[in-house]
Structure formats: structure tokens, C-alpha cells
Amino acid sequence: MGTWNYSVFWDEAMNQIREELGEHEFAMWFNIEYDSSIENAIVIRVPSNFYRDQLVRQYQKLIERKIFELTGKALGIDFVVVKPSVSSNPAKEKEEEQLAEMPNNKEEQPTLKSLAKKTISLDRGKHHQMRLDYTFENFIIGENNSFAANAALAIAKNPGTSYNPFLIYGGVGLGKTHLMQSIGNRVWTTNEKAKVICISAEEFMNEFIQSIHDKSTQAFKNRYRFVDVLLIDDIHFLQNKLGSQEELFHTFNALYDNNKQMVFTCDRPVSELKNLSDRLRSRFERGLNVDLQPPNFETRRAILRKKIEASRISVPDEVADIIAKNISTNVRDLEAALTKLIAYAQLVHKDITLEIAQNQLKDVFSQSKHGNVTIDNILRVVADSYKLSYSDLKGKKRTKLIAFPRQIAMYIAREITEYSTTELGFEFGGRDHTTVMHACQKIDERLKLDPNLESTIQSLIRAIKEYSSKT
């Protein structure tokens, strides 16, 4: 462990991030210190679980990208919680440490000792991208994800025997990555000798390109073709990346022939990916494909209460309920709202009340008419109104019967959501932003000529909002 020292690169990465984020944001969230290095990761000290969770959620990818730019190596970032040594109440601090080491709901809370042990173990068999907090125990199962969760549990119990490959698709913040990594964590916990690799499609591509540059392609092939479980996040990134698709195709075949488990995530059904080779597409579709939908109110409330319990911050049930009622888009938005409240409570030393929650989250709640509406909801309502399929509107067909409803859907999405034209183009089947701009312009022109079109659009918007409120 001592032969690896990335402290110089770490210092420079922090200097660059400070310049990008500004002193205020950097000072608030980067209360961290370089600890040590292992071959494939840098170990960082953080003062609390809360800081660790926020860094992982908001800044880990930024830090890893900076490190990669400086070192040319895809290094992970592992965090260990080191509490301040000075305490105004040593007896209370000792009691809290003892409580932290006690099992909570059959899941042991991580301590410095256990995290350090885990970090060392990562180098032996588990890829550094695996997050220790992504487990089945803290994955809330509801109507929107029960099929996917039960399939994932079955796979984790007997990897490579059935449902191989397993592909999870759905919108952002619905738990695809959490569920995928839960499989890896369960497999590795059951058998620490199992070789589990978790990586994003982008990082897979970067490593492949780097191996060509370094003339080490055989080492790259050996790394990925002799694992027990391969987890690849966001395979939609591979669109148009023909060389990486070719390499993944051969990796897929090698693992499949040896009954090794593969799990992938994507933001849409594989059938809707552009410029993906037919033979790789058929491999993805060979196993079990499941989709994740936005959680209902009961599931959202359960998710919040689980997060509140883990944070050890007192949050009244009425506050959790009002957040769950006003934010129905995805888990990520729920967490963001709760994080804002917890940060406020910690920074200003006030207890969270319903009044504080309403005041601090008023901007979030005021956008609920937009936030509750997803592009998927718009597409489904418009498609149903024009007696088309969801796939028709996101697909490539340009017939008049499909093109006009698609333009209507784009126009409505631009009106009632805060998506940019670039983001909307991506959501509408990976189209260019100019296509969205053209669609909106066309509808604007038709509104001037057809007075009935305005009432049609308003009727669709009402139907979309009503549909969204029920999901």
C-alpha cells in the first residue's frame, strides 16, 4: 500500500476543483483530507457520514475525472469517516461511537475500523466503483420496482444461472445503479473470493482506448473476461462507439459462455438505442429486461423515512409527508430536498419543523407542477390521445400521423418542464436540439392558424398533469 502515493495529484486536483466551484462551495463540502493510496484508489478522510454521502452523491465523479486527467489512470475514491479528536462531551461521544458500532436493522453501521478493512478488501476482489451503501437492505421496494428487485435478489443468490444478462432501464434517479450494485455487494459479501467489477460504460470505453494506446489490450481483455460478475452502468453511452461495442460484444460472449453474471443499466429500452450493433443489441435482449417507474406516494414516504433514519437527524413525519406529496419525480429529487433540510439544520443549528421545511423548499414545491411531470408521462398521454404507441413517438418514423403528435409532445414538454432543447432531444430518442426547436416553431405557426389547436394542447396538458399526479 505504501508503494502507491497519489498525494501530489490529489493536491492539484483539489486546487482545480476549488477554482471551478468557487471558495464558498468548496469550503462547505470539501472538508476532507488525503489519507493514503492503493493501486486503484485514493483513500480520503471525511469528518462524518453526512459529508461522505454528499461527496459521493454530488462530487465523486468530478473528483475521479480530475484525478484521471492528471494521472491518466482510472482511480477510485474511497472514503473513511474520521471523527474529530476533540470533543466537548467525551462521554457522549463514546456513547455515540458504541451506538454506531451496534447492528441497526440487521445491518452493521460502518465504523472507521470496518471501513478501513473494507477498503483493503476492495483491492483483492471488488472493484473500487462499488458503493458500500448500495445494498438490498436499504433499497425500498414498492409497486414501481418490486419485479426488478425480486429478480435482482434471485440473481444475487445464484449469479450466472438464470436471468443472464439482466438489464434494468428507466429514467434518472429511480434506483437503477443502486439495484445493480446491490447485486454486486450481495455476491461479494456471500463470497469474498468472487471477482466483481462495477464500472460505467464511459469508463469501460476510456480504459479500452487507454489499453490500445498503451499496447496492453490483452491485459484489458483478461481483466474483464475472467470475472464472476460484471456490472456496467449507463450502456446508452455506447451509442455510436463502435470500437467499444465490438470489445463489449466479445467480452459478453466470453462471460456468457462461462455462465458468469452480467448486469447492465440503461436510461431507455435497448430497442430505442441508436447506432448500436444488431448483434450487441440482441445480446442485451437475450436475458431479462425490466423497467423502473417513478415511486408512488407510499414508496416515496418509506424512502424518506429510511434516509432520515440513516441521517440520525430528527425530522417530523409531517415534514417527510409534505416532501413525498410535493416531489414525485424520482428518488434523487427526494434525496436532494431532504439533504437541503439536513444541511440547513446542521449549519444554522436549528431543529427541522414544518414551517422551516415549507420555507426552505418553497422553490422546489413551487415547481411541483413541472417536477411531477416526466417526459415519459407526456409521451404516454400524447401517444394515447393520438392512438399511437409510446415507441412511435420516440422512434425514427417520420410519417405525418406520427410527426405531428411528436411535435405536439415536444412543444408541451418545452412549455411545462424546465428541460433544455438539448435535454429534450435526448429524451425524445436521442434527437438533435434543433429538431426540438423546429417542432416548437411549427406548433407556434399552427397555433396562429388553427384556433382549436390551443384548446387541444391545454386539454393534453391537463390530462398529463392528472396522469402525473397519480403515478
**CATH entry, 375-470, from 3.30.428.10, 3.40.220.10, 1.10.1750.10, 1.10.645.10:** 1.10.1750.10
pLDDT digits (tens, 9 = 90+) for 350-361: 888 888 888 888
Q: What integer best gives the mean pLDDT of the chain?
A: 81
Q: From 344, 350, 347, select the one nearest 364 (Cα to Cα).
A: 344
* CA dihedral (43, 49, 55, 58) positive or negative: positive
Question: What is the rounded CA–CA span in Å between residue 56 and residue 131?
Answer: 9
Whole-model pTM above 0.75?
A: no
Residues of the chain with CATH 1.10.1750.10: 375-470
Question: What is the rounded CA–CA span in Å between residue 416 and residue 445?
Answer: 19
What is residue 412's predicted lDDT score, i.e. its pLDDT?
Answer: 93
Q: Is 74's pLDDT higher than 60? A: yes
pLDDT digits (tens, 9 = 90+) for 456-468: 898 898 888 877 7
pLDDT digits (tens, 9 = 90+) for 306-324: 888 877 788 888 888 888 8
Quickly tell me which residue has 405531428 as its cell. Answer: 404
Do the beta carbons of residue 330 and residue 375 sit within 8 Å?
Answer: no
What is residue 113's predicted lDDT score, i.e. its pLDDT?
Answer: 36
CB atoms within 10 A of CB 90: 9
Give the contacts of 299 (CB within 8 A, at least 6 positions apart): 140, 141, 142, 143, 144
Q: Give the confidence band of 159 by pLDDT, cuts at 50, 70, 90.
A: very high
Residues of the chain with CATH 1.10.8.60: 297-366
Q: From 85, 13, 84, 82, select the one nearest 42 (Cα to Cα).
A: 13
CB atoms within 10 A of CB 35: 18
Q: How far apart are the first and last CA of the chain?
A: 50
Give the single-character DSSP code of 168.
Answer: E
| Residues paired with 77 in a beta bridge | 42
Q: Give me the architecture of the 126-293 domain, per CATH.
A: 3-Layer(aba) Sandwich (3.40)
Do the beta carbons of residue 203 and residue 234 sit within 8 Å?
Answer: no
165 upstream amide cis, omega within 30 of 0: yes
**CATH entry, 297-366, from 1.20.120.1200, 1.10.8.60, 1.10.1740.10, 1.10.490.10:** 1.10.8.60
**CATH entry, 1-124, from 3.50.50.60, 3.40.50.740, 3.30.300.180, 3.40.800.10:** 3.30.300.180
pLDDT digits (tens, 9 = 90+) for 163-204: 999 999 987 788 899 999 999 999 988 887 889 999 999 889
Quickly tell me which residue has 382549436 as its cell. Answer: 452
